[in-house]
Structure 1
C-alpha cells in the first residue's frame, strides 16, 4: 500500500512537471502557443494510460522504472520543443523556421511506451529465451557490421545507415542483441556444455573445474569483433559502452576479479592502439586536453557547451533566454548543455540523479530474480543505460573525451528512444516475474 501511495505521488509530480514546462514554453511566443498546451495534454494522457495498464494488469513489478524514465522523457521533449522554436536570447526571430523535431520525438515516445507495454504483456517467461544464444550472436554481428559496410559518415563517425528512406544507428539495435547473447553465453559459466568440456580435454586441461575458463573464449571473441567494428566506424562512445556492459556482466556471472583486471588491461592496450591508428581519436583527445585552443574549429562544439553550462549557473537563465543554437547538434548530443543553460545546474543534477535512481530500480530487479539469464539481462541493460549517461555527460562537460552518443530518454532520436524503452520493458518483465517485490 505504501508503494502505491509513493507511485501516485511521483505520478502527480510528473503531471505538474509537464504542465509547468509546457506552460512556460507556450508563453515564449508573442501569442500563447496552443500547440505546446496540446502536446502537454497528449503527454499527460500517455503517462496516465501507460501507468494504468501496467499497474492494473501487472501489479507485482517495480512501477518506478516506468515513472523515472517518463520524467526524463518529459524533460527532453519540453527542451526539444523549446529548441524547435525560433527563439534566441529571449527574442522571437521569425515564423516558419521550425523543423518539427518535437512531433517526431512525440511519435518516438509513444512508440517507445507502446513497445514497453507490449514486452510486458506479450512476452512469456524470459527463461525460455535463454536457448537462442546463436540467434542473438548472428543478430549482434549483423547490426555491428552494418555501419562499417553500409554506413554514412556523420560528425567523424560512420555509424548511420539509411534504409527505405529512414536513417538509424545499427549499433543501438546491436546493443540489445549483444546483451542477450552475453546473458545466454555466461549463464552456464559454472556448468560448461559438453562441447567446451571436449575442447578442454583436447587442450589438455585435467581438472573439470578448469573447463569453465574455456567457455569464455567464444563471448570474448564476439566482444573483440564488435569492438573492432566500432573502432572501424570510429564510434568511440558505443565501443566504451559495449566494454562497460561486457565487463559488468562478466563480473556478475563469474565473480572473478582477475577477468576484470585482464579485460581492463586489454581495453587500455586497445585504446592506445586505436589512438595511434585513427586520427579522429587523436583529435578528440586533443580537444579534450585543451578545448579553448581549438574553439574556432574542431573544439567549437565543446567550447560552446562549456560556455552554455557556465552561463546558466545554478538556476539557469530561463526557457527561451539562452543561446543553445550556437551549439551544433544541440538537440541530440548536447541537449544536457542546453538544459543546464536555460534550466540551470539544479535541473542538470536532477537529470543525473533521476538516471541513477532508474539504474537503482533496474538493478533491484536483478537482485530479486532467481533465474541467472534474467538477472544478467537486467544487469546488462541497466549498465547500458547508466554507462551511456555517464559517457555523454562526461563528454559534454569536458570530463572525458567527447563521444557522439545520446542521453537516454532526453536527447532527440528515434533509435535511442525505442531501444531505451525496449530495454526497460524487458527489465520490467523481469521485475514482474520476481515474487519478492513489495
Structure 2
C-alpha cells in the first residue's frame, strides 16, 4: 500500500508538472504564473500527505490523493480557460485543504460526540434549505443563489451537509415505523424547497442521499419503492407546475429540434466531446468559448475536447475509486452514526458526479450543479473537502473514541 501511494503521488506530480508546463509554453513569453500554480499544488500535496502519514498512518491516504487528482485536472483546465477564475479556485482549494486538515487534526475524540446534536442539525437544515426561497436570486432559471454584497453562495450546499448530519442522528437507532415519520417529513420539506427554487439537480442528490440512508438504517426495500413512487409523483407535479423544468425535459428529449435556442448549450457540449475524440485536440488547441458556462457546469465537456475521452473516463474512474474508498471507510465504522454519516457523504459526492456528467452528455435532463473537485465553485469545493475530512476521520478508526 505504501508503495502504491508513493507511486500515485509521483504520477500526480508528473501530471501537474506536464500540464502547467504545457500551459506556460503556450504563451510568449513563457507564462510564469503557471509555475506558481504548480509549486502551490505541489506544496499542498506534499504537506497534506506528510501530515496524514505522520499523525494518522492508519487512515486511508488514497482518499485525499484521489480528490487532489481531480482538483489538479480542474485547475489545469481552469487556468487554460481563465486565469482569474483559476486563481480564485486555487485560493478556495487552499482554504478547503485547511478545512480538511482542521477536521482531521482537531476532532480528537472522533465524530460520535456530534450524534447528540440532532435538533440543532434539524434547525440548520431547514434554515439553509429554505434560505434561497426567501432571499435568493434567480440564475439560469433556478433561484438557488444568495448574494451578500459581492459574495454569492448556494445555501443548499450547506443544507445537504446538515441534512446528512441530521439523518445520521435520527436514523442511527430506528426500531419502529413511527420513528421514521420525523426524518421523512424533514426530507419532504427539503425536497419541497428545492422544487420551489427549481433546483432539480440538488433535489436528485437529496433524494439519493435520503433513500440510501433510510435503506441502510432499516434494510427494508419497501421504503425504497415507496420513496421512488413519491419522488416520481413529485417530479410529475413539478413538470406540470414549472415551465423551467418542462423546458429542461423538452431539451433533453429532443435537443436537435431546439439547437439554435433552448438546447444550444447541450448540443455544443456534445459537439465538444465528439470533437475531442479519444485523445483530445490538445491542451490549448480546442474551442471552449463555444461552450457556455465552461468553467463550472460544462467543464467536463471542454476537458473531453482538449484532453480527450480518455481523460473523461479517468475523471469518472477517479470519482468511482473515491466513492469506493469512502464507502469502504463506512463499512468499517464502529457505530451506526458514523456509518450513516460516511455513507451519506459518499453518496452525495457520487450522485452529484453522475447527475452533472449525465446532464452534459445528454443521458438525463441538464441540471445546474458543479462537478465535485473539478468545476469552479468555492462553496462546492469547501463542502466537498468538509465531507472528505469527515470521511478521512472515519477511515482512521478513531470514531469510537469518546463513547
Specify the alignment match of 1:172 in structure 2.
Answer: 157
Report the structure number with the largest CA radius of gyration: 1
1:325 corresponds to which residue?
Answer: 289
Aligned length: 399
1:290 to 254, 261, 266: 254
Aligned to 2:357: 393
SS in 2 for 1:8: helix
Aligned equivalents of 1:397, 1:373: Cα separation in 2: 36
Report the counterpart of residue 337 of structure 1 in structure 2.
301
- 2:224 — aligned with what? 260
**Aligned equivalent of 1:245:** 209
Secondary structure of 1:216's aligned partner: helix
Partner of 2:190: 226
For residue 410 of structure 1, give the secondary structure of its aligned residue in structure 2: coil
Question: Could you say which residue in structure 1 is the equivalent of 2:81?
Answer: 83
Q: 1:427 aligns with which of 382, 391, 395?
A: 391
Distance 1:253 1:324 in 2: 45
Contact residue 151 and residue 159 of structure 1 kept, 8 A:
yes
2:102 is the counterpart of 1:102: no
Partner residue in 1 for 2:59: 61
Could you say which residue in structure 2 is the equivalent of 1:147? 132
- Matched with 1:196 is none
Question: Which whole-Å CA distance do the structure 1 matches of 2:239 and 2:149 have between them?
Answer: 35
Between the aligned partners of 1:7 and 1:164, the Cα distance in structure 2 is: 43
TM-score by length of 1: 0.90
Between 232-241 and 159-168, report the one with greater CA deviation. Answer: 159-168
Name the SS of the counterpart of 1:215 in structure 2: helix
Matching of residue 364 in structure 1 with residue 328 in structure 2:
yes
Q: How many Å apart are 1:426 and its aligned residue?
A: 0.3
Deviations 1:207-252 (A, max 9, x none): xxxxx10000001110111001001110000000000000001111
Q: Give the superposition deviation at 1:47.
A: 0.7
Q: What TM-score do you get using the length of structure 2 for normalisation?
A: 0.98
Paired with 1:164 and 1:325, the residues of 2 have a C-alpha distance of 29
| Distance in 1 of aligned mates of 2:67 and 2:352 | 14
Partner of 2:34: 36
The match for 2:10 is 12
CA distance in 2, matches of 1:294, 1:144: 33
Cα distance, 1:435 vs. partner? 9.4
The Cα offsets for residues 104-135 of structure 1, whole Å up to 9 and x where unpaired, read as 00001011111111001112321111010000
Tell me, in whole angstroms, the C-alpha distance in 1 between the residues paired with 2:128 and 2:218: 27
Q: Which runs of 5+ in 2 are unaligned?
A: none
1:120 match: 104
d(CA) in 1 for partners of 2:90, 2:211: 34
CA offsets, 1:150-201, max 9 Å, x none? Answer: 00000000011012431000000111100000000000103xxxxxxxxxxx
- Please state whether the residue corresponding to 2:396 is helix, strand or coil: helix
Shift of residue 324 of structure 1?
0.8
| Residues in 2 aligned to 1:274 and 1:378: alpha-carbon distance in whole angstroms | 31
In the alignment, the residues of structure 2 paired with residue 405 and residue 125 of structure 1 have an alpha-carbon distance, to the nearest angstrom, of 31
Q: Which runs of 5+ in 1 are unaligned?
A: 85-97, 191-211
Q: CA RMSD in A?
A: 1.1
For residues 77-129 of structure 1, the C-alpha deviation after alignment (integer angstroms, 9 at most, x for no partner) is 00000011xxxxxxxxxxxxx6x001100001011111111001112321111
CA contact (8 A) 2:130 2:193 kept: yes
> Equivalents in 2 of 1:323, 1:291: separation in Å?
21
Displacement of 1:434 after TM fit? 5.5
Which sits farther off after the overlay, 296-305 or 387-396?
Answer: 296-305
Report if aligned partners of 2:393, 2:399 keep a CA contact under 8 Å in 1. no
Deviation at 1:31, TM superposition (A): 2.1
- What's the offset of the Cα at 1:58? 1.1
**Aligned partners of 1:328 and 1:287: how far apart in 2?**
15
Aligned-residue offset at 1:28: 1.4
The 5 Å alignment of 1:127-146 reads 127-146=112-131
Poorly superposed stretches of 4+, deviation over 6 Å: none
Paired residues of 1:365 and 1:434 also in contact (CA < 8 A): no
**Which secondary structure does the structure 2 equivalent of 1:159 belong to?**
strand
